[in-house]
A and B are shown apart, each in its own frame.
Chain A
C-alpha cells in the first residue's frame, strides 16, 4: 500500500479549554479529571501537582492527559473480551488552574507487562499540552512506595540521578484517598525526564 506521511503536530495554543476541558463553558466534557467509576478496580488515589516553566513560574494554561491500566494492570479496550469494570476507561484530562495546578482522582494502576516478558512497575503515562509546547510532552508517573521501581525496564533507561523526577511522593490523604504529588518541570535544573517513543 502507498506510504502516507504523518500530519505534523502543532501547539494546542492558549484557547483550547472551551473544547477540550470545558468545565467553565456550556459544552459537555467528554473526558474529565475524575477517572473513578463505580466499577473501578483498584485503590482510589489522588494524583496532583504543579507545572513549572523554565523560569520557575507556574504554567496556568496547560492540559495534562493521563492513560493508565486499572488496579489489576488491565488497559480498557485492549482485550477482545470486555473487562468486568467496563465503565473504567483509564483516561483523564485536567486543565491547570491559575496556580499551574492539575489533579486527578483515579485508582492506583497495577503492574503491566513490559518488554522481553519483564513486568513494568505501576505507572501512569502522561501527556502535556500547552501554548509554547509544539508537540505533546510525554512522561510517566511512578509511585515512591513501589518496590518494583527498582527493576522497571523503562526507569532503568533513565540516568539514575534523574529518576526521582519520575517518582510521585505520597504526601497525605484526602477523602480517605492517598495523595501522590507529582510536579512537572518543563525546563531547568529540576527538569522532568521526557520520553520519545
Chain B
C-alpha cells in the first residue's frame, strides 16, 4: 500500500505553544518549523509484531495477584488511515492512573492510594481488521498544578506506531460527558471542537459484557491515505 500524507490533516493537532497549558510556554519552539518533503526516512517506520507482545499485556486487570479496585471496563476499537482503511499489525501502548487517580510513576505525589493490584500499563497489536481490545479499570480524575484547582478529566494515554515515522501518534482517550472538559487546557489545546470530539470514546452498550464490564469504543485515525494514481490525460 503506497500512502501519501496530506499536510492538511495536521491542522487537527494542537499548536506547540498552547499558553493555557503552562508547560508549553518554555517547551515550544519559537522559530517556524522547516517544512520538508517526505523521504524514505519519513515513509518507513519501526515494525513491532505479535511476537513482541504477550497476550496478557492487553488485560491490565490480571497483571497482579488480585483484581484492581474500580470500575472494570473494556476499551476497544479500530485503527485506520484517513481513507478508513484498517491498519493491521499496529502496536498500541497504553498507560493510565488507577481508579483513585494515582499513577504508579515515582514522581506522582497525588495523595490518593496506590492499588497493589494495578500498574496501569498495557499494550497490544491490532489484528488483521485493525481491531484492538483492552480490559482495564476506569481511571480517575486527578489534580495537577497548572492553575488553581486544576483537574485532569479521566483519560487513558495511547501511543501508536502505524505504518511509518509520519503516522506515529501519542494521544489521550477521554470518556463521554466528563464535566471537566471545559476546564482542561490539555484537552482544549486541540482548538477545533470537532477534532476534540474525536478524542472522546463512546459508550458501547453492544460490547458491554452483562454482569461483568461496561465497554467504550475508541476508533483511532492515523495520518496517511492511499495514493491515487491519475490516468494519463492524453490516453484517458
A114 vs B36: C-alpha distance when bound (angstroms): 11
Query: In the assembly, what is the distance between CA of A129 and CA of B27, in Å?
Result: 10
For residue B199, which residues in chain A have a CB less than 8 angstroms away from its CB? 7-8, 10
Check A8–B14 contact: CB distance below 8 A.
Answer: yes
Question: B45, A67: Cβ atoms under 8 Å?
Answer: yes
**Taking the complex as formed, is B50 at the interface, i.e. its CB lies under 8 A from any CB of chain A?**
no
- Among A10, A18, A22, A140, the residue within 8 A (CB) of B170 is A10
Main secondary structure of the interface of B (DSSP, over half): loop
Task: Give Cα A132 to B144, complex, Å.
Answer: 13
Within 8 A of B (CB), among A17-41: 17-20, 22, 24-28, 30-31
A window 113-137: CB within 8 A of B: 113-115, 120, 123, 125, 127, 129-137
For residue B97, which residues in chain A have a CB less than 8 angstroms away from its CB?
Answer: 15
A-B contact count (CB 8 A): 252
CB atoms of A134 and B189 under 8 A apart:
yes
Cβ 8 A contact of A6, one of B12, B16, B22, B38: B12
Is A76 close to B, CB under 8 A? yes
> CA separation between A107 and B52, bound complex, in Å?
22
* B195:A20 contact, CB within 8 angstroms: no
* Complex contact B41–A125 (CB within 8 A): yes
Residue total for B at the interface (Cβ-Cβ under 8 A)? 83
A187/B44 contact (C-beta < 8 A), A19-B94, A114-B39 known: no
B16 touches A4 (CB 8 A): no
Are B29 and A137 closer than 8 Å at their CB atoms?
yes
Residues of A within 8 A of B127 (CB): none
**A186 part of interface (Cβ distance < 8 Å):** yes
Query: Is A53 part of the binding interface, using a Cβ–Cβ cutoff of 8 Å?
Result: yes
| Residue among B83, B103, B169 making CB contact with A9, cutoff 8 Å | B169
Q: Across the interface, which residues of A come within 8 angstroms of B5, CB to CB?
A: 197
Q: A16-B157, A53-B26, A132-B21 are in contact. Are A89 and B84 (CB under 8 A)?
A: no
Tell me, yes or no, whether B209 is within 8 Å of chain A by CB: no
Output the least CB separation between A60 and chain B (Å): 9
Within 8 A of A (CB), among B114-142: 119-123
- Contact assessment for A194 and B33 in the assembled complex, using a CB-CB cutoff below 8 Å: yes
Q: Are B16 and A8 in contact (CB under 8 A)?
A: no
CA distance A30 to B94 in the complex (A): 13
Q: B95–A5 contact, CB under 8 A? A: no
Please, what's the 1-or-0 string for B14-38, where 1 marks a CB less than 8 Å from any CB in chain A?
Answer: 1110100111111111110111111
Distance of B232 from chain A, by nearest CB (Å): 21
Asked if A105 is an interface residue, CB under 8 A from chain B, the answer is: no
A112 on the interface (CB 8 Å rule)? yes
CA distance A2 to B28 in the complex (A): 35
Minimum CB distance partner of B45 in chain A: A67
B95 and A30 contacting across the interface, CB-CB below 8 Å: no
Asked if A186 and B29 make an inter-chain contact with CB atoms under 8 angstroms apart, the answer reads yes
Residue pair B39, A90 in contact (C-beta under 8 Å): no
Q: Knowing A1-B85, A19-B121 are in contact, say whether A132-B221 is a contact too (CB < 8 A).
A: no
A5 touches B82 (CB 8 A): yes
Check A24 against B16 for contact (C-beta < 8 Å).
Answer: no
* Distance A61 CA – B23 CA, assembled complex (angstroms): 12
Cα–Cα, bound, A115→B40 (Å) = 9
A and B contact pairs by CB, cutoff 8 A, 19 listed: A2-B83, A2-B84, A4-B81, A8-B13, A10-B172, A11-B186, A15-B105, A16-B157, A18-B105, A19-B123, A19-B157, A19-B159, A30-B52, A65-B168, A67-B44, A77-B45, A120-B39, A154-B36, A197-B5
Q: A interface vs B, CB < 8 Å?
A: 1-20, 22, 24-28, 30-31, 53-55, 59, 61, 65, 67-69, 75-78, 89-91, 112-115, 120, 123, 125, 127, 129-137, 140, 153-154, 157-158, 162, 186-188, 191-197
